[in-house]
């Protein structure tokens, strides 16, 4: 009889333990999912790339998706508890800014981390050397750039070179520099225009060199013929020339 009672007691105790465990597992299964992330929900990474780390705490198992091959997340899934998350961002070799949304999911609960990466800066000129004649002219140079840029003219040549531009930014787009070059009435000359994008310390710089030919040899007189009375007189001739000259009187003319 005692053995029978003892067996009943042991069986009852085991049943109570099983029920308690079942209740605990049932409660755990009904617990609402939650995800907590330390730090920011938005990050900006420079062109060279880098990594971002933060803690994620979840009450249930979770998964993560990026959708961007240049933005990798580790680990890609985890169990309930706290996990250290690392986001590795590759170097951006494109000329456009890019974005990735990192989505963490546990049941129906989601948390999103946004990663923005700066573009590769570019400043490309179709021509770094311009050769022109002595005549007044305009020359166009195409600039491919994805940043704001400025044009600087050497002070020594600003008198005969001027620049106007139609600029654009974002993405690698074309804009146009128009160089206005005045007529050269003297010797050959050259000047430089510096196109600079970004800040002074870390910006990109390109130089355009302009070569202008010397003025064509020319001598201009105010008048080519004069009529002088028999009594004679003194006449004045204005000479304009861009080269040295000599005045020669024929040897058989002794009346001048």
Residues 155-171: b if buried by 16+ CB within 10 A, e if exposed: eebeebbbbebebeeee
Angle at 186 between CA 184 and CA 192, to 5 degrees: 60
Which helix (DSSP H) or strand (DSSP E) does residue 13 occupy?
A: helix 2-30
Q: pTM here?
A: 0.62
**In CATH terms, is domain 123-212 a member of 2.60.40.10?**
yes
In this prediction, residue 22 carries a pLDDT of 45
CB 195 within 8 A of CB 208: yes
**pLDDT, tens digit, for every residue of 48-57?**
999 999 999 9
- Which homologous superfamily is 33-117 in? Immunoglobulins (2.60.40.10)
Domain with CATH 2.60.40.10 in the chain: 33-117, 123-212
- Closest residue by Cα to residue 20 from 12, 9, 30, 32: 12
| 90 vs 235, higher pLDDT | 90
pLDDT exceeds cutoff 70 at 253: yes
* Residue 19 pLDDT class (50, 70, 90 cuts): very low
**pLDDT, tens digit, for every residue of 65-94?**
998 999 999 999 999 999 999 999 999 999
CB 167 within 8 A of CB 150: no
In this prediction, residue 23 carries a pLDDT of 47
CB 89 within 8 A of CB 49: yes
In this prediction, residue 186 carries a pLDDT of 86
In this prediction, residue 14 carries a pLDDT of 52
């Amino acid at each position: 009889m005692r053995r029978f009672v003892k067996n009943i007691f042991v069986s009852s105790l085991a049943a109570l333990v099983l029920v308690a465990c079942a209740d605990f597992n049932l409660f755990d299964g009904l617990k609402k999912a939650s995800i907590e992330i330390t730090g920011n929900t938005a990050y900006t990474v420079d062109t060279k790339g880098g990594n971002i780390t933060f803690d994620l705490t979840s009450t249930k198992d979770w998964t993560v998706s990026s959708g961007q091959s240049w933005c990798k997340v580790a680990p890609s899934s985890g169990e309930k508890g706290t996990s250290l998350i690392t986001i590795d961002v590759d170097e951006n070799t494109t000329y456009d800014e890019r974005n990735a949304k990192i989505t963490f999911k546990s049941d129906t609960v989601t948390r999103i981390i946004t990663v923005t990466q700066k573009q590769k800066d570019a400043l490309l000129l179709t021509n770094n050397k311009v050769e022109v004649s002595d005549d007044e002219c305009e020359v166009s140079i195409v600039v491919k750039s994805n940043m704001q840029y400025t044009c600087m003219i050497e002070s020594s040549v600003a008198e005969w070179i001027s620049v106007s531009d139609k600029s654009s930014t974002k993405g690698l787009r074309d804009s146009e520099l128009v160089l206005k070059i005045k007529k050269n009435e003297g010797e050959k000359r050259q000047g430089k225009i510096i196109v600079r994008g970004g800040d002074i310390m870390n910006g990109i710089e390109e130089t355009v060199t302009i070569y202008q030919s010397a003025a064509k040899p020319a001598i201009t007189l105010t008048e080519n013929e004069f009529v002088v009375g028999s009594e004679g007189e003194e006449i004045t001739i204005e000479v304009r020339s861009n080269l040295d000259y000599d005045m020669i009187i024929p040897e058989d003319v002794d009346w001048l």
